[in-house]
């Protein structure tokens, strides 16, 4: 199976972007998915990665990088629920992706029911029926999507108890965030090596992520993937400022067409996003850069 490197970049604010490796991982005997990810026979394992590089092409065509050694270990998206009480004839089922991923009856004890549920979920995983793995700590059951990793953030898992009380019947999978070290925050100053933290210009960015796999005594094997991202934080900040301005009765603005311009700006931002999603990258880049300068022609201060 061909190794498929993958990553994601988001923009939490105008001065910062966040990078994380979202490549899947195959674990023998645990999950049978992710044959294109780390660990599948013929693919690199995570400990084989010697170094990484991240290069950027800015909306104006300027090329920066590479930034080195940004490798982050892919973590799984998980969620937990707790069994609070049971009836002597209770049972419990767990649904993921609108399908049954595990089921157990209360026959001997609550502990046995939990063990049976864990065993059923993991057995179905090994059989290739789904990509979830479960574990338990006392009455708390944790379910992870082994294949989706951080890409499974926000996925809903339904717990369906019959005469069993749980603390949450709908749990939401979530992975790591920057506080756990799985994601790396990057400023514009790191990329252009000025160490000056400025806002990222709006536009379409092309980012190439490369990892080098140890193949001693031969030269390292290079794996690379390139993706495009639309940054529109500055335009959205402009839109927000205009909306707040228009809502202030104590801040008269001489621009009589303020509300019309707000609608035009909102439409342009949404249009640029649609163009980007339809792979019309040049058009999206041109339009979102135009919106970035829109505010210079609109009253943004009170005199």
| pLDDT-above-70 percentage for the chain | 86
pLDDT at 178 over 60: no
How confident is the model over 51-78, as pLDDT tens digits?
888 999 999 999 998 887 765 555 678 8
CATH no., domain 77-172: 2.60.40
Q: What is the reported pLDDT for 180? A: 42
Identify the band that residue 177 occupies on the pLDDT scale cut at 50, 70 and 90: very low
Taking the C-alpha atoms of residue 187 and residue 14, their distance in angstroms, rounded to an integer, is: 9
Residue that the structure tokens 């108890």 belong to: 161
How confident is the model over 112-156, as pLDDT tens digits?
999 999 999 988 877 777 878 898 889 999 998 877 666 677 889
pLDDT at 213 over 70: yes
Mean pLDDT, rounded, for 23-29: 72
CA atoms 192, 72, 51, 212: torsion sign:
negative
Q: What is the reported pLDDT for 302? A: 41
Q: What is the reported pLDDT for 132? A: 87
DSSP letter string over 159-203?
EEEEEEEES-SEEE-B---GGGTSSEEE-HHHHHTS----PPPSE
Mean pLDDT, rounded, for 71-86: 78
Identify the band that residue 303 occupies on the pLDDT scale cut at 50, 70 and 90: very low
Residue boundaries of the structural domains of the chain: 7-74+181-231, 77-172, 233-297
Taking the C-alpha atoms of residue 99 and residue 48, their distance in angstroms, rounded to an integer, is: 36
Q: Across the chain, what does the average pLDDT equal?
A: 84
| pLDDT-above-90 percentage for the chain | 36
Q: What is the reported pLDDT for 222? A: 93
| R_g of the chain computed on alpha carbons | 25
Q: What is the reported pLDDT for 26? A: 77
Q: What is the reported pLDDT for 73? A: 55
Q: What is the reported pLDDT for 8? A: 83
Mean pLDDT, rounded, for 168-188: 72
Identify the band that residue 198 occupies on the pLDDT scale cut at 50, 70 and 90: confident
Identify the band that residue 260 occupies on the pLDDT scale cut at 50, 70 and 90: confident
Q: Which two tokens stand for residue 125?
A: 């995983």
Identify the band that residue 12 occupies on the pLDDT scale cut at 50, 70 and 90: confident
Q: Which two tokens stand for residue 249?
A: 């009765």
pLDDT at 294 over 70: yes
Mean pLDDT, rounded, for 200-225: 91
pTM: 0.67
Identify the band that residue 299 occupies on the pLDDT scale cut at 50, 70 and 90: low
């Amino acid at each position: 199976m061909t190794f498929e490197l993958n990553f994601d970049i988001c923009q939490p604010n105008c001065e910062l972007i966040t990078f994380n490796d979202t490549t899947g991982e195959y674990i023998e005997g645990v999950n049978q998915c992710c044959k294109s990810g780390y660990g599948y026979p013929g693919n690199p394992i995570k400990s084989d990665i010697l170094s990484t590089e991240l290069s950027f092409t800015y909306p104006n065509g300027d090329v920066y990088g590479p930034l080195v050694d940004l490798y982050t270990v892919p973590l799984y998206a998980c969620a937990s629920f707790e069994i609070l009480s049971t009836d002597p004839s209770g049972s419990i089922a767990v649904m993921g992706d609108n399908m049954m991923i595990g089921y157990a009856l209360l026959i001997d004890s609550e502990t046995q029911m939990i063990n049976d549920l864990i065993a059923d979920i993991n057995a179905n995983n090994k059989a290739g029926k789904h990509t979830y793995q479960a574990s338990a700590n006392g009455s708390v059951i944790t379910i992870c999507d082994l294949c989706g990793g951080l890409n499974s953030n926000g996925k809903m898992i339904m717990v369906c108890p019959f005469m069993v009380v749980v603390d949450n019947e709908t749990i939401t999978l979530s992975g790591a965030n920057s506080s756990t070290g799985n994601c790396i925050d990057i400023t514009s100053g790191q990329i252009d090596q000025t160490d000056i933290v400025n806002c990222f210009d709006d536009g379409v960015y092309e980012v190439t992520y490369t990892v080098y796999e140890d193949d001693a005594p031969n030269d390292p094997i290079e794996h690379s993937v390139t993706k495009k991202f639309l940054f529109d934080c500055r335009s959205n900040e402009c839109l927000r400022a205009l909306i707040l301005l228009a809502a202030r009765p104590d801040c008269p603005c001489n621009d009589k067409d303020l509300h019309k311009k707000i609608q035009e700006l909102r439409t342009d931002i949404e249009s640029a996003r649609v163009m980007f999603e339809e792979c019309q990258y040049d058009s999206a880049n041109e339009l979102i850069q135009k919106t970035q300068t829109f505010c210079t022609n609109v009253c943004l201060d009170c005199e």
